[in-house]
Structure 1
């Protein structure tokens, strides 16, 4: 009889990854084996408070019971048909997601990058079919320091050299302007502009929150110019900032909104392009598609996510705990924190470089039982599950204080 496999510890498992996994990530040295709610446990049984939440993919925490139940229920019935056939879950998911976001039509996809790529295609098609831009001349205006994904087209309009270098030639048709600068945006928009594509809050850049009135200005400018406003809410949407969508902070309604991450509840990849019928309606059969987009399992989980958000509970929790996060970081300013930006349960924290890089601060927090992730330089991001309690959040801020002032 074959002996049972010997359990392997963190160091052994990390070493095992080196020869077989492409080195496109540099994870923190923790090997997660189990998770529940806001907490994860590694292979040695150590527990950590998760303050990253899968870059907002785990807005409802790990293994939320309603989402797990929806997945189990659907796994016993049907998982995939492709879009060659109808399935009994997709229409209901689309109807409820459209109602939640105040839109008319839904294009289901899988990943956030797919949603962005889909929006680029839709905006160009709309420009040619509706606006009358000459074929092949449509342009899309984007913001510097954006993060919309890492596909070839998307890195073509990135200003992050780590994402771009070595991956050209790049896709033309994009104009880059500074974020939070309406004058620069207006100067870049002309008769060829199909859309302005921005993040209402720039996540990867360090949770950059624009000035009040910026999103309203983008909406007014695009309306005057006769082009689309496309809001990438893949990280900022679905409760993260205290509203269903971050654009709601200024009561703005874009033409197209991109959703992902939390839409799959941390269980399956689910994304969607939602928007006005006259925009998404430019697509015809055969012009765009996805074998897994809108699959029954994704639709079942996505519907359960929408049901959680329909109650407003998670948006309220983010709004109610926002001052706890903000005030806790404000109290640390000058005591290791040199600056921060926050909106809802989301913050970018600039640590004094003399104390270490963002990576080093993240590793010290990990050793104290709190998981975060660095971004550029000495900046770390905090994005806890929306299920976190006030006590857990205050405890995490206390741990950050300990790490910065030790």
Structure 2
């Protein structure tokens, strides 16, 4: 099943230096990739060894064959790593347990070799998203007296912090609790930040007395000035701790995904269904005429995480036990335009962990999600068709569990 405790740890950001292997840039010089029209896939895999986070593996083809961490890839240090691509650069983020660290940027040189481009210092954060030509990161306090969330803008081309802003999360929530941003999404020329309302009392940090409400804070960009909060009460908060739950489609509309899994003292207290809501292009209100009850369409299952494919198609991880946020996950595809629900076929029967959410990519034809799936029998990259829901097994990853897949051009 999906390791929810692991996802809970995937929360803070810092970056560190690397111990390099055969794929590293031995000279230490910056090497800028060209534009040959070619692409390479980056697969990250963790061996579970103490002090070692992941290996960065590169390949031209993910449809067949195998790849291994043994004697291969760029070895990284640390415990947990998280990734984002922006402006054709690959950023490696280390879970720093609250401590600042080095932001490490990679790209491909003209030969298609993954090389280290730069390092710089950054705060540990909980949210990171590509906005315009930047990466927006947010450090969000969740307990104690501190209530100020710090937002940092990183120039994704130059790998430099170029600005910051702050938000009082207690003032933003305005209900005696505090706001905790689940993610950030560019919608038009603004940044939409869904948030949870949490107690933050140290004993039940992520518990809430407001389980059946939805909030999205709207900020202008690049100033990051709060404009308003969009509210609804037909489902619960969007996304989850360290989990994106809001996507803009090709038409400019935004769709939000709720697990309806808010808790109090570790007990689910949400009474509303797990569902999809909509914000029409150019508006800052929920569309009251739209409500996709995924829990009903699925036969009682709740959304665990989601990943937008294209043209209204979205890949979902569903909790395996109906009506709860527990159970070995199952995969499904939905069409938010027609409100159709399809269970994925040909996927592994037991999924230990998958890269659904931030860590997968869209296929070359734009109609499928390319996802890493770890199972008790082995770990593979799968391509899941957004129209049919059929999964196709691709390259096998040996010597480690898949944690992410990305793609760069050179």
The answer to whether TM tops 0.5 is no
Q: Which has the higher strand share?
A: 2
Between structures 1 and 2, the one with greater helix share: 1
* TM-score between both structures, scaled by the size of structure 1: 0.29
TM-score, length-normalised on structure 2? 0.28
Higher relative contact order (CA 8 A, sep 6+): 1
